[in-house]
Structure 1
């Protein structure tokens, strides 16, 4: 078989099939594999959001937690769900690969979901309730949080791998498949929100009207369906080979650079050390072109006389390839962009906490006999995403392409920046509603009322803006961190993008705690009061709007100097 024929039949990005043979382009990958991955993600997100969307109400009403405590517990847990992907990503990139990492961590995930369902339905593990008041024992609270953090650990092996695993189904060396990869990220986020839509409507209603046992049992079953979907597509998948520990490789560059701190980097970059074969020496990775930034680390690729003597010649702690050096540079270049996602993620996290608490004070009636749970308003965030994702892919991209000349309409960084601007409007919208709500309370002296006669649907604009911002920023981040990651570090970089959500939740917890401690001093009710009618939640929204605007300005400055990566050759 000629090399040209081989290129037509097999992928050139180093991927294998489930039997560890070179992936056949006609039998594996592309959309025939992605339909199983998208089905898996839809069911897994239905399970996750079905459990998490209404969690603040579960902790406040069922576990008898105070408002701020419940809100902080949710953001801390949610933050952990987006921090554990670093563990899963390391295991995937270094040892198991994305397929087997997902397969392993779903066991932990389902264990946590099952325990949470049992804790909400089995007598003795469920809190004792009389009327609207429930009392949870310390052991019941402990079981609930053990279940929640098992789920957080389980998500750590799925979140960083599933989007990258889907993108792996498209060969970067094939122009037609490469073009489809960009669409995959849009549809990936679309199916996430299909699952979220069912969760925020049907499942939240079940939790508030039927019971928590059924309301958490259905998401557990959905997670079981996700597992079936995932394994059903095994024969169609393309698997990237794990390239060894990326953390070890980066540490080797740092150590080698420090050892050669007094060595001068040659002006001719061709003199820097690199594997002479077409493939990179890193399994599953293509070579990276040398860049003229962070030149201190280039010292690791400078060959000295001692590097050519004896055993020292093979020591990666003294001499590294250009590609290995560029891996570290690529990660460092991503960090400033990563940091600007934290404030956006903090805005996003308000949907599961403060937006819900604000909605609890509004009239939730739809007609005379039906009440919509405040947590179900996140349905409008989901509908916004479901509207904007295909509109972006089918209308905005072709339209923008005519004016920008860019194949994707906007660059990835432009797309992220547009979302950051839209998120400001989300906070402004929430703040305006809160001002109007407090004015109504003051005008009609309703300070002691649990709800006021303002329809909860006034919250729709703020949810709609958040959803629109997600399509630009979150999807842009997914694509950006996958595309800019070195081949053998894609799970790690995808996990890095997810940790912005973790730090966003932690930032929200910090801000809520700080503001509560400061504004409640001296016996004052505070901005986020136990009774929101006596507080000033609008001030909190103005603070987030201001931080979002400042964050956007910093993002513009960082994006201005960012240079996109360039690869050569093909993967081993």
Structure 2
């Protein structure tokens, strides 16, 4: 058997820093532990956060506005700290050791949170019924634990680092493994939704019916199990070696290009500076082919007499390799797709806001005794559709598109955006039908009325098209669209209410939705989604997929 058939060609190593063996490491034998970790971690995370506003109100004696703002700020922190973890993973620690480091902070935070809700002296005291009056030290303990969890889940980058680490288990240069990698992203999100679904069903009930000590304790146990899952698979994992600071390399290219503003780029691009062997000069990264976009940056790779080349060593602040230049180009060309994801994330955020409010006014019963909470309806549909997409839609599409995964990554993202447009239109039509029922039955003050693709593609796209040594960072960048989408949704609601609450009108989104026009808000989002889709078509049409060559060193 040839050496290429035994070991991976993407530069990965095993836990002992030996070249990764294809037969004994990676693929599903490793990813089953990662998916188990994701499922339990999401159960812990959503189990803690689902009813968090109520805890701040009832146990920490905070008003609705203060409690909501505290949860919003904390949530934003959870989506910002992944950039820290991703940077450490790409630059210095590697994804495995970054996750291993931050999960201990995560578990410590969850444990302290449980203690703050159960141990006398730490838990809020002076309670009168459902309202407590905690001391400043008791409040401080809670918030220390609170932000330890934010640092643990964000710094460890449960989505950017763990998803990228799972994708690392498939050799980029092996066609069969690369095909399985795309399926991994589908099951990654399925595990994510599975954990979140049971958190909203089970943990919420425990917090309300049993108490907060158990309500935080059960998620803590789930997080401990998540850690056990992760470390149990260590001997099967493939580890990408860190390539040094990507920010340093980015600034080196920019500085070198500006230093050579007056230098002409040769017509023959083979004259640009590049390492002589098959390996790039970036640890853990393959060479990248030269592209014709962002030509100004090519100046950084033009050799000149002023470049200090001694004994084969170059000053990277004066001369950069083609691969290093292309790394910067790749990151820059991903930014328009990142921006287009913000509007989609705004639509996506409606699942946790307006769709829940709309669902609250409807009959959620299935039969006489079973009721699905409105905030779980979207998770039910995602749990159903993810395996259907992976096992049925993709094989069917493959027959027509001739693509290995049924659709290209850009096509998948585009299809998701189209679906989001129709989702908003459908939600608007449903609201018209619901309001018609309300008017017909004069049920303005009644609570109940009649019953009733893109993030996966985006995550895979940012991982696949990011340079090898910046994959965690780019995946974390794609994740920030979710939080920015939430912020944009908040701004839209504020602006809409300010503009529609005039002359005594209740506005489109009043407290009593039966007297508003939520359908107009959904149509507004559909229009914004359509405009965003047109922009997406423009940038995707001009985009050229990354081409890596050679082996990682």
Q: TM-score, normalised by structure 1?
A: 0.88
Contact 2:93 2:242 in 1 (8 A): yes
Comparing 320-329 with 70-79, which one deviates more in the overlay?
A: 70-79
Q: Deviations over 1:107-154 (max 9, x none)?
A: 2222332344344445674487767x7466695766655544332221
The aligned residue for residue 467 of structure 2 is 486
1:48: how far off? 1.6
Correspondences of 1:65-214 after superposition (within 5 Å) = 74-121=71-118, 125-126=123-124, 134=131, 139=136, 145-156=143-154, 157=156, 158-214=158-214
1:392: how far off? 2.0
Q: Aligned partners of 1:349 and 1:141: how far apart in 2?
A: 30
Contact 1:18 1:235 in 2 (8 A): yes
The aligned residue for residue 5 of structure 1 is 2
Comparing 322-331 with 30-39, which one deviates more in the overlay?
A: 30-39
The aligned residue for residue 25 of structure 1 is 22
The aligned residue for residue 527 of structure 2 is 546
Q: Aligned partners of 1:323 and 1:414: how far apart in 2?
A: 27
- The unaligned stretches of length 5 or more in structure 2 are none
1:326: how far off? 0.2
Q: Deviations over 1:312-345 (max 9, x none)?
A: 9621001000000000000011111111111111
Cα distance 1:331–1:69, how it changes in 2: closer, same or farther (>3 A)? same
Q: Deviations over 1:463-500 (max 9, x none)?
A: xxxxxxxxx21111121111111111111111111111
Comparing 230-239 with 145-154, which one deviates more in the overlay?
A: 145-154
Cα distance 1:309–1:249, how it changes in 2: closer, same or farther (>3 A)? closer
Q: Aligned partners of 2:245 and 2:69: how far apart in 1?
A: 35
> For 1:389, which of 373, 382, 386 is the aligned residue?
386
* DSSP 3-state at the match of 1:565: coil
1:536: how far off? 3.9
Q: Aligned partners of 1:71 and 1:548: how far apart in 2?
A: 27
Q: Aligned partners of 2:412 and 2:6: how far apart in 1?
A: 35
Q: Aligned partners of 2:431 and 2:67: how far apart in 1?
A: 21
Contact 1:72 1:509 in 2 (8 A): no
Q: Aligned partners of 1:22 and 1:253: how far apart in 2?
A: 31
Contact 2:124 2:134 in 1 (8 A): no
Q: Deviations over 1:504-551 (max 9, x none)?
A: 122122223334455557876444434444544333323222211221
> For 1:506, which of 458, 483, 487 is the aligned residue?
487
Contact 1:80 1:502 in 2 (8 A): no
Contact 1:75 1:506 in 2 (8 A): no
Comparing 254-263 with 57-66, which one deviates more in the overlay?
A: 57-66
* DSSP 3-state at the match of 2:448: strand
* DSSP 3-state at the match of 1:317: coil
1:453: how far off? 3.1
The aligned residue for residue 447 of structure 2 is 452
Comparing 173-182 with 64-73, which one deviates more in the overlay?
A: 64-73
The aligned residue for residue 218 of structure 2 is 218
Cα distance 1:191–1:286, how it changes in 2: closer, same or farther (>3 A)? same
**Greater RCO (Cα-Cα under 8 Å, separation 6 or more):** 1
Matched positions, count? 549
1:185: how far off? 1.3
Q: Aligned partners of 1:277 and 1:285: how far apart in 2?
A: 13
Cα distance 1:313–1:304, how it changes in 2: closer, same or farther (>3 A)? farther
1:423: how far off? 1.5
The aligned residue for residue 334 of structure 1 is 334
- The unaligned stretches of length 5 or more in structure 1 are 459-471
Cα distance 1:453–1:427, how it changes in 2: closer, same or farther (>3 A)? same
Contact 2:361 2:448 in 1 (8 A): no
The aligned residue for residue 319 of structure 2 is 319
Q: Aligned partners of 1:290 and 1:505: how far apart in 2?
A: 37
Cα distance 1:170–1:371, how it changes in 2: closer, same or farther (>3 A)? closer
RMSD: 2.9
The aligned residue for residue 428 of structure 2 is 431
Contact 1:287 1:567 in 2 (8 A): yes
Q: Aligned partners of 2:141 and 2:373: how far apart in 1?
A: 26
Q: Aligned partners of 1:127 and 1:354: how far apart in 2?
A: 35
Q: Aligned partners of 2:324 and 2:176: how far apart in 1?
A: 29
The aligned residue for residue 300 of structure 2 is 300
Contact 2:424 2:526 in 1 (8 A): yes
Contact 2:59 2:134 in 1 (8 A): no
Larger proportion of helix:
1
Q: Aligned partners of 2:98 and 2:475: how far apart in 1?
A: 14
Comparing 39-48 with 237-246, which one deviates more in the overlay?
A: 39-48
Cα distance 1:348–1:54, how it changes in 2: closer, same or farther (>3 A)? farther
Q: Aligned partners of 2:260 and 2:218: how far apart in 1?
A: 59
Contact 2:415 2:454 in 1 (8 A): yes
* DSSP 3-state at the match of 2:3: helix
Contact 1:81 1:502 in 2 (8 A): no
The aligned residue for residue 233 of structure 1 is 233
1:169: how far off? 1.0
Contact 1:205 1:372 in 2 (8 A): no
Q: Does 1:44 align with 2:41?
A: yes
Cα distance 1:188–1:64, how it changes in 2: closer, same or farther (>3 A)? same
Contact 2:509 2:517 in 1 (8 A): yes
> For 1:566, which of 540, 547, 553 is the aligned residue?
547
The aligned residue for residue 468 of structure 1 is none
Contact 1:75 1:508 in 2 (8 A): no
Cα distance 1:439–1:315, how it changes in 2: closer, same or farther (>3 A)? same
